[in-house]
């Protein structure tokens, strides 16, 4: 199947369509995703309701089979997920108001399946938390980029897969960390937003380190930042 978008490095790809139909033709190692929660939101071709949730669980089951997986979940559907091997925490201080599609909480779990997750051990000993910073990227319910950098930085090796890509935050984080990644999105308008984000060559970190556009490049490695030599 031909990808909807491939970045300039050839390591990041987007596929447009239903993940249940596309997944069998793809090869990936680690699932990192934020699936729709079933809150009744109307997208262009997908309604986030009970029927929609059944299609989501089918897609999740297909994606997670034989793959280590990290699934960001709200409490709306948490108890319908299979038991996780580990759970990490996304802490959102001050998050007391409902989003414009509903739901609120000061923290959300990240369910971890399979082995090789370094953040699982960290979270069990010291619940490290990632603060929420809203991103105005055209999607009704985006997750902060730093959250996905943190998850992917602690993920097992291999190609990252997000079967519910949305506006591409998972793929942007993977690209910033030098990981191969594949995203699938059923809505073309969000796939287009993601393609534009992934075409950008400047890496922007919340903590201020930047640059890869023909200059010094900083890549986050846990809490460390390694500078590479300036490219002439």
Ranges of each domain in the chain = 5-200, 201-232
Distance CA 97, CA 23 (A): 36
Give residue 105's pLDDT band: very low, low, confident or very high (50, 70, 90).
Answer: low
pLDDT confidence of residue 95: 54
Does residue 21 carry a pLDDT above 70?
Answer: yes
- Whether pLDDT at 39 is above 80: no
pLDDT band at 41 (very low <50, low <70, confident <90, very high): low
Model pLDDT for residues 109-145, shown as the tens digit of each residue: 889 999 999 887 555 333 344 444 444 457 767 778 8
Please say if the pLDDT value at position 223 is more than 90.
no
The answer to whether residue 214 scores a pLDDT higher than 90 is no
Q: What is the pLDDT of residues 164-178, one digit of tens each?
A: 999 999 999 999 999
Question: Is 70 exceeded by the pLDDT of residue 34?
Answer: yes
What the block records as the tokens of 195 is 């393609």
Q: Could you give the CA distance from residue 10 to residue 13 in angstroms, rounded to a whole number?
A: 7
Backbone torsion region of residue 201, taken as left when φ is above 0, otherwise alpha when ψ lies between -120 and 50, otherwise beta:
alpha
177-201 per-position pLDDT tens digit: 999 999 999 999 999 999 999 998 6
Tell me how far apart the alpha carbons of residues 138 and 14 are, in angstroms, rounded to a whole number.
17
Q: Which of 83, 148, 67 is nearest to 115 (CA)?
A: 67
Residue 219 DSSP SS3: strand
For residues 178 and 219, is the Cβ–Cβ distance under 8 A?
yes
What is the rounded distance in angstroms from the CA atom of residue 184 to the CA atom of residue 44?
A: 16
According to the model, what pLDDT value does residue 53 have? 75
pLDDT at position 139 is 74
Q: Specify the pLDDT at position 121.
A: 55
Q: According to the model, what pLDDT value does residue 46 have?
A: 60
pLDDT at 16 over 80: yes
Q: What's the pLDDT score for residue 40?
A: 58
With respect to CATH, is domain 5-200 assigned 3.40.50.150?
yes
pLDDT tens readout for residues 52-98: 678 888 899 999 999 999 998 876 677 788 899 888 887 766 555 44
Whether pTM > 0.85 for this model: the answer is no
- The rounded Cα 214 to chain-centroid distance in angstroms is 27
pLDDT of 165 reads 95
Q: Residue 224 above 50 pLDDT?
A: no
């Amino acid at each position: 199947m031909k990808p909807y978008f491939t970045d300039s490095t050839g390591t990041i790809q987007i596929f447009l369509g239903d993940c249940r139909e596309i997944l069998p033709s793809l090869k990936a190692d680690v699932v990192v995703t934020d699936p729709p929660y079933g809150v009744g939101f109307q997208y262009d071709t997908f309604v986030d309701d009970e029927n929609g949730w059944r299609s989501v669980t089918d897609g999740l089951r297909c994606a997670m089979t034989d793959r280590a997986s990290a699934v960001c979940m709200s409490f709306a559907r948490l108890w319908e997920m299979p038991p996780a091997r580990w759970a990490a925490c996304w802490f959102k201080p001050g998050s007391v108001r409902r989003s414009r599609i509903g739901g609120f909480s000061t923290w959300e779990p990240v369910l971890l399946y399979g082995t090789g997750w370094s953040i699982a051990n960290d979270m069990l000993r010291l619940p490290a938390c990632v603060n929420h910073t809203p991103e105005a990227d055209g999607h009704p319910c985006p997750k902060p980029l730093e959250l996905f950098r943190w998850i992917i930085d602690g993920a097992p090796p291999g190609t990252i897969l997000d079967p519910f890509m949305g506006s591409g935050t998972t793929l942007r984080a993977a690209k910033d960390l030098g990981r191969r990644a594949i995203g699938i999105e059923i809505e073309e308008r969000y796939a287009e937003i993601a393609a534009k984000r992934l075409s950008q060559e400047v890496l922007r970190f919340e903590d201020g380190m930047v640059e890869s556009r023909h200059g010094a490049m900083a890549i986050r490695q846990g809490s460390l930042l390694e500078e590479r030599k300036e490219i002439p």
